[in-house]
Amino acid sequence: AQSVAQPEDQVNVAEGNPLTVKCTYSVSGNPYLFWYVQYPNRGLQFLLKYITGDNLVKGSYGFEAEFNKSQTSFHLKKPSALVSDSALYFCAVRDGRGYSTLTFGKGTMLLVSP
Amino acid sequence: EAGVTQFPSHSVIEKGQTVTLRCDPISGHDNLYWYRRVMGKEIKFLLHFVKESKQDESGMPNNRFLAERTGGTYSTLKVQPAELEDSGVYFCASSLQGAFNSPLHFGNGTRLTVT
């Protein structure tokens, strides 16, 4: 079975500081990894994905994530946080072999203070 | 392009009643998915349609839940009879390509409260 762990319910960071939202995963085959963001009263929006290739992937709004196979992690990062980045962030994984559904973590609330 | 739309945005019903949620995917998206998030928990997969066919319904909790996608356009998710544990936010998503490789486009969700 595949699973995702987001160990932090909430991450607090000051505007202008770097941010990291952690994600670890478990999957039998090759992992396909995704980050989504949810703003209040809205649906989830796709940020970025890792399928294969370069371990550092860049996505929307200046976010990036680093795939680390040995640590089974896919942490989301941004060099300089904005207040408008405050939202709920979800990590997701699927097994790259054949058909499998997308499994989400429980989400991490990011709060960026002015 | 118009996004994924869900109706209603909120629904409050009593235990034992019936509720029907509707999802209109992005035009041309053959793949339609239903997910549910209970407060503070993971977003759980319910089922996946490819056009009008159910590709995967392994996440449906029980036979009180019925999903349909007649004609391969919009989809409905009916809960009958509703129980307290059915409360949560129900998300619909669609994608052009299947197999979950392409990004999912989510609707704003329907917040269901069963009292």
Q: Digits of tens for pLDDT over chain A (114 positions)?
A: 889 999 999 999 999 999 999 999 999 888 999 999 999 888 899 999 999 889 999 999 999 999 999 999 999 999 999 999 999 999 999 988 777 788 999 999 999 999
Q: What pLDDT sits at residue B7?
A: 97
- CB spacing of A43 vs B42 below 8 angstroms: no
Q: Among candidates B17, B49, B44, which has minimal Cα distance to B33?
A: B49
Burial class (CB in 10 A: 0-12, 13-18, 19+), A47: buried
Check CB contact of B39 with chain A, cutoff 8 Å.
no
Q: What pLDDT sits at residue B100?
A: 61
Q: How many angstroms separate the CA atoms of A82 and A18, rounded?
A: 10
Amino acid at B10: H
* Whether B4 contacts B94, CB under 8 Å: yes
- CB spacing of B93 vs A103 below 8 angstroms: no
Average pLDDT of span B79-100: 89
- What's chain B's average pLDDT? 92
Q: How many angstroms separate the CA atoms of A105 and B10, rounded?
A: 24
- CB spacing of B105 vs A100 below 8 angstroms: no
Other CB atoms within a 10 A radius of the CB of residue A74 amount to 27
Which B positions 5-24 lie with beta carbon below 8 A of chain A? none
pLDDT digits (tens, 9 = 90+) for B17-69: 999 999 999 998 999 999 999 988 889 999 999 999 999 999 999 999 999 99
* Angstrom distances, CA of residue A98 to CA of A49, A95, B108: 18, 8, 29
* Whether B14 contacts B112, CB under 8 Å: no
Nearest to A101 among B3, B45, B105 (CB): B45
**The token pair that represents B13 in the structure block:** 């019903």
Q: How confident is the model at residue B1 (pLDDT cuts 50, 70, 90)?
A: low
